[in-house]
Structure 1
Amino acid sequence: MRVFVDGKEIELDEKSSLGEALKAAGAKPAQGAIIGVVKGRGEQSLQTNSYWLNTTKGKLRIELLENDLQKIWHESINDIVSSEVRWASTSGVAFGPFSSSISFGREAHEYNRWEIVIGAAGFEAEKTQLIFVRRRHSAAYGVPAEGGLLAHVVGGKNTLDRLEIGDKILAIEPIVEWQDLTEKLATQDMTLPLEDGMEVFTEVQVELMEDAPYGAEFFLALTRGGTLKVDSVSSSYISSDQLLAEPIIFEHREPRLEGAVTVRTSGRGLGRIFIYKADRTSNPGHSVVGHVNAGMDMVKLAGPGQLVTVRVKPERIMLMGSKLSDALLLLKERGIEVEVDGQGGEDAVVVKQDPRATMEILKAKKVKLLTMPANRLVAIELYHDLAPKTLDYFRHVTGLKERPVGPLPVYFVYENTILFKPEIDAVSYKELLPENKPTGPIPAGSIGISNQVSKKIGLVGVRLVADKRYGPSGEKFEATNIIGRVLEPEKLKDVKEGETIYVLEVR
């Protein structure tokens, strides 16, 4: 029989399993990731009450309400096209005039932002207009007794605030949606029997944009393990919260078409990554960083909590944590000029790179590396399940959320205790409630952070010997959150105040 794996045609024996198909195709989905299986495709058109209004300032998407005013809309739609802004204020903006069969009154009504009202200017049906409400207010617009509410603005909302006198409606396009009738499933069952003609998808392929180097790097950081964890699903997108609340700048704006990859750069949901399953307008809070080139079926199959294998182009250039010799070899293979600042030789490791963004390195064709002796790069293990909120703070202040290596400046050294003061001061906006407090002797090499019970909240500490009374940051147990352990404590025995060590998280 014939099946397709990631678009590649494969000949198999009858009743072959999913695992056999993947082996024959050489496909290797990430461990724990779902595999999409599609059997038969189909769709049917669905008429909607949604329309795109193309204006001289951009597009507005509106959704008509189910009421009698729809009749006036359909009768007048040809006249509404080419209508101009008659007036604009902080309360609203009106397009018109056009003649209609509207029945109107003189009473005032209350309106809310994003509502669209149909009314008779000067209480004359020949001067009917559409009023787009910008803020909540009361007014007498010559509307029917029920209030004249025709529709809501549901897309392109930023366009509404930019409309002014002189702007026009250039075109009105009805939106036709399609109901997907495809038989499909997401599975990890390698024994699943396949049938002739089935399609199998193992990965999503994403190509990143040169115009969004920092957003692209953000996405590369999110998918550095070769997967994307789906945290939320809607009819129009899937999203991942693994870098939620991490700051990222806005770089590129364009319509969020199917397959667009965006990052939320402001407001609620900062740092959230989206992949779109349906077209949406551009948004000033969403920076587009890439597009899906293949595997949209996987995007549409994925559910909350599932992992999706992701292959990103270009591959990330992340040299931090690598031996200098390995980094130089990789850069030579990719034709990138390199400047090394710091320790050389076989013992050197890379702890910083400039530029840090892959797209910037590829564009400049050169990179500067900061190196240190390997004994200043310390491997650590973190207890995510035991102290997730404290680790959110720790990974944020060290940069470990986005990079494999992070700095820890040495603040104070006494006896067998080393205190570190992170470069980023985040105690004002990252909670450090008591979490995973010690209940017995602290093992040597434990890493602790002073919680909000302590006056020195946010300090990171490591104790090189076991202790029955105090935590790694020198605090009593109730003021200490244990987040992990140092795997190479011998590297910390000779550190001095004022120097910076680098930590490498072993996952």
Structure 2
Amino acid sequence: MKIEINDKRRIVPKGTLLGEVIDEKDYVEGCVVGIIEKAEKTGEGKEEFEIYALKGKMEITLNKSKFAGFWKSALNKVRGKKIILNSSKVLGIGLFPSEIEVDKGLYSYKKWDVFFGNGGFDNKSTYVMIAKKDHKGTYGVKGGVFGKLMRGRYIVDSLEKGDSIDKIRILKREEERMKVFSTTNMNLRLKDGMSIYTFVHILLSKEAPIACEHFLSSTKNNELTIDESTSAYVSLKKLAYLDLRQENACKREKYSITVRNQGKGKGRIYFYRANRSLHPSHSCVGKITQGEKIIDGAKVGDHITVHTTPRKLFSVGMTQSEAENFFRSYGIEHFRKGNKGDNGLIVSQKPELTMELLKEKRVESFGVDSDTIMDIILYEKEAPATVNYIRKVSGLAHGSVGQLTVYFSHPQMTQTFLRGNKSFAENLLPENPPTNVSKKGELGVTNMSKVNIGMIGIRLKDSPEFGSTGEEFYATNMAGKVIKNLDMLKSLKPDDILYVREVKK
């Protein structure tokens, strides 16, 4: 049987199961897989052509215009030609002589239209153009549109001037009605002609560095869970751990992604199924270049595998040696600070934002002795809001090691107090209070029932009366516990930095 998986063609035996063709590096277990199945042939033919370049293949479908005839007669002239232009509006392939009539008028082009142009208003310099956005232009031909780019759109931006067109292959298919669905059933028996998509690939925009970092932090495990679905978009709630602001407002096109940067729902991520107008409260962070059908079929509760270009470039939690190798692979110069030894554990880096790091091509990482880091477990199920607060205040939201500042500590005290952030905690309702006793090593936060809302505390001795921040039980939200290096708290002084590492249960 012939199938396609993530736009790559494969031949598999009859009876092959879905789970047998999935590559683990492209898929997170439990996420949905998008399937396109040929459901019914109508008998009507469409003429299609595959265009092969060094970076991949593109597929165009012809229309019924006279220019489609010109295209078919010019195939041998186009083969071997090079990319002569790749602007924000169009990709150009050529040049070659033709008999296409010259016209100096202004005409409209839709995104992904494929059309002819005559360079310098001379049909001895004809080229093939692909529209990258809706626009009007004067290209020396009256319209000239002969088809639509249907597949391989993701490689258009990567093609460079001088890249050659290696091969053009003719396809002629019967028109087929398609059935699109999603599944997590790895025992699904595949059928001939199925197209399978295991992940959504997103090309991120350098014009929104903060919103992109928010997105990268939200997808650090290559997985997102949809919690809202409409005809125009699917979205998910993600708390804004970074200081989101207005960036890169643009028309929200189909298959683009935005992050809400203010107001209700700040931090929410949107994947668009239809065009929407520009809105200043939305920062455009990128566009889907592969796996669009997963978004088309996504429902509330679906888990989606996500890959991005670029990936998150963040070294916190690595050793100095690991970080050096990691950054070298991206051509980034690495400078060690603090504990510079190979085993020094990185607790901070400058710059932090991936887009800024790629721009500067240099990074500093600050290392410490791993024995100076406190390991904690967070009670995510029992106290989700409080755990989110801890992660936001400490930086654990986007790195495996966070930092908390000591507010007050003394060897004779029964708890250590750590600075919080009242503005982050303003709506922190009571949850998961201690029962009977507040135990040694437990980490708690004062909730909104007390004036010291947001204060973080770690208990050094059991107490049957007061929580980790010295408040009554009803005013204390228990958020986690220390599992390593609790005794180091006794030696800390006000304004000292406490490094904490989250250990998953």
SS at match of 2:259: strand
Work out whether 1:303 is the aligned partner of 2:296.
no
Q: In the alignment, residue 2 of structure 1 is paired with which amino acid?
A: K
Q: How does 1:13-32 map to 2 (within 5 A)?
A: 13-22=13-22, 28-32=26-30
Q: 1:245 to 1:346 in 2, by over 3 A?
A: closer
Compute the displacement of 1:41 (Å). Answer: 7.0
Do 1:215 and 1:289's aligned partners in 2 also have CA atoms closer than 8 Å? yes
Work out whether 1:7 is the aligned partner of 2:7.
yes
Compute the displacement of 1:36 (Å). Answer: 1.5
SS at match of 1:487: strand
SS at match of 2:393: helix
Work out whether 1:432 is the aligned partner of 2:428.
yes
SS at match of 1:252: coil
Q: In the alignment, residue 311 of structure 1 is paired with which amino acid?
A: H
Q: 1:36 to 1:419 in 2, by over 3 A?
A: same
Q: How does 1:332-343 map to 2 (within 5 A)?
A: 332-343=328-339
Work out whether 1:442 is the aligned partner of 2:442.
no
Q: How does 1:240-251 map to 2 (within 5 A)?
A: 240-243=236-239, 247-251=243-247
Q: How does 1:51-450 map to 2 (within 5 A)?
A: 182-243=178-239, 247-414=243-410, 415-422=413-420, 424-426=421-423, 430-450=426-446
Structure 1: gaps (5+ residues): 45-179
Larger mean Cα displacement after TM superposition, 397-406 or 375-384: 397-406
Q: 1:314 to 1:32 in 2, by over 3 A?
A: same
Q: 1:16 to 1:344 in 2, by over 3 A?
A: same
Compute the displacement of 1:394 (Å). Answer: 2.2
Query: How far, CA to CA, are the matches of 2:258 and 2:217 in structure 1?
Result: 14
Query: How far, CA to CA, are the matches of 2:234 and 2:478 in structure 1?
Result: 34
Q: 1:325 to 1:26 in 2, by over 3 A?
A: closer
Query: Counterpart of 1:113?
Result: none
Compute the displacement of 1:476 (Å). Answer: 2.4
Compute the displacement of 1:28 (Å). Answer: 4.1
Compute the displacement of 1:362 (Å). Answer: 1.0
Q: 1:433 to 1:425 in 2, by over 3 A?
A: closer
* 1:14-43 CA distance string (max 9 Å, x none): 122111222xx5664112211112212799
Do 1:245 and 1:269's aligned partners in 2 also have CA atoms closer than 8 Å? no
Query: How far, CA to CA, are the matches of 2:496 and 2:332 in structure 1?
Result: 31
Do 2:319 and 2:367's aligned partners in 1 also have CA atoms closer than 8 Å? no
Work out whether 1:451 is the aligned partner of 2:451.
no
2:467 to 447, 466, 471: 471
Query: How far, CA to CA, are the matches of 1:241 and 1:181 in structure 2?
Result: 35
* 1:46-89 CA distance string (max 9 Å, x none): xxxxxxxxxxxxxxxxxxxxxxxxxxxxxxxxxxxxxxxxxxxx
Query: How far, CA to CA, are the matches of 1:445 and 1:43 in structure 2?
Result: 67
Structure 1 vs Structure 2 CA RMSD: 2.4
Q: 1:41 to 1:287 in 2, by over 3 A?
A: farther
Query: Counterpart of 1:497?
Result: 494
Q: TM-score, normalised by structure 2?
A: 0.68
Compute the displacement of 1:220 (Å). Answer: 0.5
Residue identity (%): 32
Do 1:405 and 1:504's aligned partners in 2 also have CA atoms closer than 8 Å? yes
Do 1:393 and 1:426's aligned partners in 2 also have CA atoms closer than 8 Å? no
Do 1:10 and 1:21's aligned partners in 2 also have CA atoms closer than 8 Å? no
Compute the displacement of 1:384 (Å). Answer: 1.4
Query: Counterpart of 2:140?
Result: none
Work out whether 1:506 is the aligned partner of 2:503.
yes
SS at match of 1:407: strand
Compute the displacement of 1:400 (Å). Answer: 2.7
Q: In the alignment, residue 291 of structure 2 is paired with which amino acid?
A: G
Q: In the alignment, residue 198 of structure 1 is paired with which amino acid?
A: M
Query: How far, CA to CA, are the matches of 1:494 and 1:426 in structure 2?
Result: 29
Query: Counterpart of 2:145?
Result: none
1:39 to 37, 55, 75: 37
* 1:300-342 CA distance string (max 9 Å, x none): 1111121100011111111112222211221223221223332
Q: 1:485 to 1:28 in 2, by over 3 A?
A: same
Structure 2: gaps (5+ residues): 43-175
Compute the displacement of 1:181 (Å). Answer: 6.6
Compute the displacement of 1:266 (Å). Answer: 2.1
* 1:371-403 CA distance string (max 9 Å, x none): 333233322211111112222322222233333
Compute the displacement of 1:365 (Å). Answer: 0.5
Q: In the alignment, residue 32 of structure 1 is paired with which amino acid?
A: G
Q: 1:357 to 1:43 in 2, by over 3 A?
A: farther
* 1:135-177 CA distance string (max 9 Å, x none): xxxxxxxxxxxxxxxxxxxxxxxxxxxxxxxxxxxxxxxxxxx
SS at match of 1:220: helix
Do 1:393 and 1:430's aligned partners in 2 also have CA atoms closer than 8 Å? no
SS at match of 2:21: helix
Q: TM-score, normalised by structure 1?
A: 0.68
Compute the displacement of 1:244 (Å). Answer: 5.3
Q: In the alignment, residue 11 of structure 2 is paired with which amino acid?
A: E
Q: 1:3 to 1:232 in 2, by over 3 A?
A: same
Query: How far, CA to CA, are the matches of 2:391 and 2:314 in structure 1?
Result: 17
Compute the displacement of 1:189 (Å). Answer: 1.1
Compute the displacement of 1:283 (Å). Answer: 1.6
Query: How far, CA to CA, are the matches of 2:373 and 2:241 in structure 1?
Result: 27
Query: Counterpart of 2:63?
Result: none
Query: Counterpart of 1:144?
Result: none
Q: 1:21 to 1:341 in 2, by over 3 A?
A: closer
